Amino acid sequence: MMRIGIDARPLSPPIAGIGRMALNLIRELERLDSANDYFLYAKQDFPLPFENPRWRKRILEKKRFHPLRGRFHLGLWQSLAQDRIELFWETKHVLPFALPRRLRKIVSVYDLVWRILPETTEREDYYLQRFFAEPSFRQADRLVCDSENTRHDLERILGLPAEKATVIYPGVLADYWPRDAQASAQFIAHKYQTSDNYICTVGTVEPRKNIVGLVEAVRLLRAQSDFTPQVLIAGGSGWRNSNIYESVARAGLSERQIKFLGYVPEEDLPALYSGARIFVMPSLYEGFGIPLIEAMACGAPVVASNVSSIPEVVQDAGILVSPTRPQEFADAIARLENDPALRSRLIERGLRRAKDFRYDTSARKLLRLFEEVGAGRRQ
C-alpha cells in the first residue's frame, strides 16, 4: 500500500482540458485501486464524483500558495509530511517548491509549446515554464506524456531520455456518442441562439488555436462559394485575444457567420459535436487535442492541422492540412460539404478511431506506473 498525493488544482471549476483529463483518470483510479490511499491538494474546494474513505481532499490555506499563478508555497511540505505521502503526482507540469528528496515524483507533461512556439505563450506563463518546468522534468522520477509527439519533443528539445517518459493518452467518456444530428443542432441553436446549420471548433480562444487562420478560411469560402453554415467557436477567453475577435470584423464577417459561444459546459459538448456538419481544429500546435477524439466519437467529420500530435491522434479519420494556409482549410471544408461519400467514410473512420482512447485503459497504465515508481522507493 502507498500513500499518494495529487496536485488537484486543475479540478477546481471551471475545468479546462488538463482538469478534465485528470478528473477522468481519478474517476477510473478510484474504481480500479482498492489498495492505495490518495490525498488531493488544492487551494480551493472542488467536487469529487464519488465518496471513498481512501480518497481525501486537502484544501490548503492561501498562505501556503505562491502568488505567481497560484503555485504551491513552501508550506505544502508540511501537509505532505503530516499525510506521510510517499509518491506525488504533479498534474500541472511544474513541481511544488521544496518537496522532500525522498519523495517519489511523477510529472505530467502535456506539451512543449513554450519552447516550440513561445510567441503563442503568455509572457508570465512562458517564464514560469522556462525556469521551472524543465527542472521539474529532470527532478521527476518519471514523466507522463499525453502523446508520442510530446515524448519525442522531450527527447529532441530537452535531451531527456525517452525511457523516462510513459505515454498515457486521454480517453473518451461514455457520454460521447452520436446523437440525432438534427435534434442536437436544434438544441444548440435554441440554447445558444445560433443557426442549426453550423461547423464548430472547441478550445480556449488564444493565439495557439489559430482562430485567425480559421476566420480567413471562412472568408475565402464565402467569397468563392455559396458556403452558408455558421462557424461556432466554443471556449473561454485566453490571453492576447483582442486580435482574434477583431479579425472577424476585418474579414467583413458578422456574428451570423462566426459566433463565439464562450465556455460551453461539458454536458452540452456531445450535442455540439453531434449537430455539427464539420469539426475543425486549425491549431498551430497541440500536445494532444482532446476535442478531436470527442468530436469523432460523436460522429462529426474532422478537418484539422497536420502538425504536432494531431496526425498521431486523427490518423486516416480526417482531412489534415497546413494551419498556415487558410486556402487549404477552405478547400478541405468545401470538399466535405460537397462529397457525401467522403463525409460518410470519415465519420465511420472517426467512430472507429475514437474507440482506441479509453480512460479505463489509461488509468490502468497510470496505476502500473505508480506501482513501478513506488517499488523503486521501497527498494
- CATH T-level assignment (fold) for domain 3-171+358-378: Rossmann fold (3.40.50)
Would you give per-residue pLDDT tens digits along the chain (379 residues)?
899 999 999 998 878 789 989 999 999 999 999 999 999 999 889 999 999 999 999 998 765 444 444 455 556 778 899 999 999 999 988 998 878 888 999 999 999 999 999 988 888 888 888 889 999 999 999 999 999 999 999 999 999 999 999 999 999 999 999 999 999 999 999 999 999 999 999 999 999 999 999 999 999 999 999 999 999 999 988 777 778 999 999 999 999 999 999 999 999 999 999 999 999 999 999 999 999 999 999 999 999 999 999 999 999 999 999 999 999 999 999 999 999 999 999 999 999 999 999 999 999 999 999 999 998 754 4
Task: Specify the pTM.
Answer: 0.92
Q: Same CATH fold, 181-354 and 3-171+358-378?
A: yes
Helix or strand (DSSP H, E) at 26: helix 17-32
Segment 269-312, tens digit of pLDDT: 999 999 999 999 999 999 999 999 999 999 999 999 999 999 99
Helix, coil or strand: residue 161: coil
CATH number of 181-354: 3.40.50.2000
Distance, CA of 142 to CA of 165 (rounded, Å): 6
Helix or strand (DSSP H, E) at 137: helix 134-139
Distance, CA of 291 to CA of 313 (rounded, Å): 11
Helix or strand (DSSP H, E) at 262: strand 258-262
Distance, CA of 141 to CA of 277 (rounded, Å): 45
Q: Measuring CA to CA, which residue among 117, 166, 116, 121 is closest to residue 140?
A: 166
What are the phi and psi torsion angles at 299 (to 5°)? 85, 20
- Within 285-375, strands assigned E span 302-305, 318-321
343 with 336: CB under 8 angstroms? Answer: yes
Q: What is the residue extent of each domain of the chain?
A: 3-171+358-378, 181-354
Supply 186's cell numbers: 436544434
60 with 77: CB under 8 angstroms? Answer: no
Segment 154-170, tens digit of pLDDT: 999 999 999 999 999 99
